[in-house]
Amino acid sequence: MSSVDSMNKGAHVVVTRGMKYLLALLLVVPAAANDTSKSADASGWRVDLQPVEQPWTYVDSGGRGEFLILGIHVTTTRLKWTDPLPEAFKFRIRIQAEGLPEYRVLESMAKSGRSADARGVSIDFWTYLRLAPLDAYWGKVPSTLTISAALSDDGVPAVSSPAMTVGLKPVARKDATWEQRVRSLRVGQVREEVLDLLGPALKEVHSRRADRTWQSTLTYPNANAPDYLPVEMQVTNIYLDQRGRVLWTALHGGC
């Protein structure tokens, strides 16, 4: 079993146990007196997405490694501040584009914080919405996406957020900033594509990883790095595995 599968399995156990507890709470907490409509939050739960105010910019001939940080805000009147919560909730993310089949993904997300006020208990989550899977699924990048998120776990109603529209704005490679080009690299992209996008590296260093496999570090000067950063962080490092595929990138690399 891979580390990712192992983490997912662990998260599922946490979520399942936690949601069974939440279901018990829902059975003993009375519904609000005016809780009679069929609206999304009639169950005492509400899901909202954090607004995305600017277009999602990507390099049109890059590696599609760009991502959008998607914030999810859950509010419920069925829990008290003192009630324990599971470490993670599951959400089904729905992404639509005109004339294209709907893209869906189920994710387990760890809570990033919670608060309480007169409206109830609020719980915050966030996840990365990556461009590469969407491009692979549709075979192209649309200009506009419609995104919604729904609770999807045992013991919690499948309440969905209102749909949110996000614009996607391509930037030609010749007009892209250094940061935009680096952030367009995706995990697994091959060395030749890295060199084509970024040009020849200033230097290349080979080293052995903890699992005893080799990696290569391509170092580039970062002319756009802030002056206050130490010299060793005014470079960009691209890390490749022993097959020459991208492992990760560091826009402001270190030693």
Q: Domain count for the chain, please give it.
A: 2
Domain assignment of residue 255, yes or no: no
Most confident of 7-11, 75-79, 134-138: 134-138
Q: What are the pLDDT digits (tens) for 219-240? A: 999 999 999 999 999 999 999 9
| 41: confidence class by pLDDT, cuts 50, 70, 90 | low
Cα dist from 194 to 112, 132, 248, whole Å: 34, 16, 12
For the chain, percent helix, then strand, then coil, each to nearest 5?
A: 20, 40, 40
Q: Give the list of residues 6+ apart from residue 5 with CB closer than 8 angstroms, or none.
A: none
Lowest mean pLDDT among 32-41, 84-93, 220-229, 233-242: 32-41
Are residue 163 and residue 62 in the same domain, yes or no? yes
For 132, counting Cβ atoms within 10 Å of its Cβ (0-12 exposed, 13-18 middle, 19+ buried), the class is middle
Indicate the residue among 171, 191, 215 that finishes a domain: 171
In contact, 19 and 86? CB cutoff 8 Å: yes
Tokens at residue 175, please? 């007009």
Tokens at residue 38, please? 């069929």
Are residue 94 and residue 66 in the same domain, yes or no? yes
Q: Give the pLDDT score at 155.
A: 80
Indicate the residue among 136, 171, 206 that finishes a domain: 171
User: In this prediction, what percent of the chain has a pLDDT beyond 90?
Assistant: 72
pLDDT at 164 over 60: yes
Which residue range forms the structural domain that includes residue 188? 177-250
For residue 108, what is the domain's CATH number?
A: 2.60.40.10
Q: What is the pTM of this model?
A: 0.77
More confident residue, 76 or 37: 76
Are residue 22 and residue 128 in the same domain, yes or no? yes
In contact, 240 and 215? CB cutoff 8 Å: yes
Indicate the residue among 128, 156, 171 that finishes a domain: 171
Domain assignment of residue 158, yes or no: yes
Domain assignment of residue 95, yes or no: yes
| 30: confidence class by pLDDT, cuts 50, 70, 90 | very low
pLDDT at 22 over 50: no
More confident residue, 54 or 183: 183
Give the Cα separation of 167 and 19 in Å (integer).
35
Are residue 9 and residue 121 in the same domain, yes or no? yes
Cα dist from 128 to 66, 103, 107, 114, 217, whole Å: 10, 15, 10, 20, 25
Are residue 75 and residue 106 in the same domain, yes or no? yes
Domain assignment of residue 191, yes or no: yes
Are residue 19 and residue 83 in the same domain, yes or no? yes
Are residue 56 and residue 182 in the same domain, yes or no? no
Residue positions counted in the chain: 255
Residue 129, beta-bridge partner list: 68
Are residue 85 and residue 159 in the same domain, yes or no? yes
Are residue 187 and residue 126 in the same domain, yes or no? no
Q: Give the pLDDT score at 255.
A: 57
pLDDT at 24 over 90: no
Are residue 46 and residue 64 in the same domain, yes or no? yes
DSSP 3-state of 28: helix
Domain assignment of residue 104, yes or no: yes
Q: Give the pLDDT score at 6.
A: 39
Tokens at residue 22, please? 């939440």
